[in-house]
Amino acid sequence: MSILSTQQILDAGLDDWRKLAQALHARFLTHDFATGVALVSAIGDLAEEADHHPDVTLSYPHVDVLLMSHDAAGVTGRDVDLARRISDLAGGRGLLADPAAPAVVELALDTADVAGIGPFWAALLTGDADALDGDDVTDPTGRVPLLWFQHTDAHDIPRQRFHLDVWLPHDVAEARIAGAVAAGGTVVDDGRAPSFTVLADTDGNRACVCTVLGR
SS (H, E, C) the chain: CCCCCHHHHHHCCCCCCEEECCEEEEEEECCCHHHHHHHHHHHHHHHHHHCCCCEEEECCCEEEEEECECCCCECCHHHHHHHHHHHHHHHHCCCCECCCCCCCCEEEEEECCHHHHHHHHHHHHHCCCCCEECCEECCCCCCCCEEEEEECCCCCCCCCCCCEEEECCCCCHHHHHHHHHHCCCEEEECCCCCCEEEEECCCCCEEEEECCCCC
CA distance 46 to 51: 8
Predicted local distance difference test score (pLDDT) of residue 177: 97
Predicted local distance difference test score (pLDDT) of residue 108: 85
- The pTM score is 0.77
Partnered with residue 200 across adjacent β-strands are 186, 206
The tens-digit pLDDT sequence of the chain (215 residues) is 799 998 899 899 999 999 988 899 999 999 999 999 999 999 999 999 999 999 999 999 999 999 999 888 899 999 999 999 999 999 999 999 999 899 888 898 989 999 999 999 999 999 999 999 999 999 988 888 889 998 988 877 766 777 788 988 888 999 999 999 999 999 999 999 999 999 999 999 989 999 978 87
What amino acid occupies position 75? V
Mean per-residue pLDDT over the chain, rounded: 92
Alpha-carbon torsion (176, 180, 182, 187), positive or negative? negative
